[in-house]
Structure 1
Amino acid sequence: MNRRVLLAALGTGATAGLAGCSSVLSLSDDEPCGGDECDIGMTRNEFLPETYETTVGEPVVWKNTSGAVHTITALENSLPEGADYFATGGYEDEETARTAWDHHGGRLGTRETFEHTFDVPGTYEYICIPHVRAGMVGEIIVTE
């Protein structure tokens, strides 16, 4: 449900009561990821958790748990030597992923998932292209 529609329906008293709400999930978001469904969830402006630890060969699953469209776009300059590039849309490099976003490519819609298996240990930084200015950045730490 649209937050503004909900607040209007609840009246001005509810608006004042909810104005200071700082939950990491918006009113239209699912519960954060956990269990077998996914490892990393997404709110409107952040990955949950922001830093995720895994081991070589284990798949990592992101799920868009918000009503917004997102991307998962690796920052090429942060990839460990010999590591494969990863991005929603299957792009082979960051420039192509960013260009594709301008043409509606690489989008991860609500409730959709993206999976990547990391074969090289190290730290991987990634962003959501449309929400990076709002601080939507993440980090994967891969160990042996």
Structure 2
Amino acid sequence: MNGYSRRSVLRRSRSVLAVGATAIAGCLGGSGPSGPTVTMTGDLRFDPGEVAIDPGQQVTWVNESGVPHTASAYEEGIPDEASYFASGGYESEQAVRLSTSARGFLERGETYSYTFDVTG
């Protein structure tokens, strides 16, 4: 786990990633046929850009830093009709924040992909 506890990483970096009313992505890589790629860095910040996502389009998060990250939605930032998503299979933002396990952490080089079911 590289010496990082889940709680301290979430608290310090608020590294829970969000996809809002318009799916947002920081440090966007190329947009291939399946959709954009979000590059996660070790900045312990998330300063998103914006990208429109169509239903059925997949976004992939890739951790290129040595700092474990999760890829999780902020519930207040996704459309009402959208399904919640999080690496690690959590069913709510609160469950991610309260977890004391490393479930869902992406280590360097690991990816998480999510296919969106509504326009955002």
- Shorter-chain TM-score category? 0.5 to 0.7
Q: Give 1:129's aligned residue.
A: none
State the AA in 2 paired with 1:78.
G
TM-score for the superposition, normalised by structure 2: 0.63
Question: Any unmatched runs of 5+ in structure 1?
Answer: 1-31, 122-141
Q: Which residue of 2 aligns with 1:68?
A: 67
How far apart in 1 are the matches of 2:82 and 2:88? 18
| Aligned residues between the structures | 91
**Greater Cα radius of gyration, structure 1 or 2:** 1
Q: 1:81 to 1:73 in 2, by over 3 A?
A: same
Q: Which has the higher contact order (CA 8 A, sep 6+)?
A: 2
Q: CA deviation at 1:35?
A: 5.5
How far off its partner does 1:103 sit? 2.2
| Separation (CA, whole Å) in 1 of partners of 2:96 and 2:48 | 23
Letter in 2 for 1:34: G
Q: Identical aligned pairs, as a percentage?
A: 38
Give runs of aligned pairs for residues 1-144 of structure 1, distance below 5 A. Answer: 33-34=29-30, 36=32, 39-45=37-43, 46=45, 50-100=49-99, 102-121=100-119, 142=120
Q: Is the 8 A contact 1:41 1:49 kept in 2?
A: no
TM-score (norm 1): 0.54
Structure with higher helix content:
1
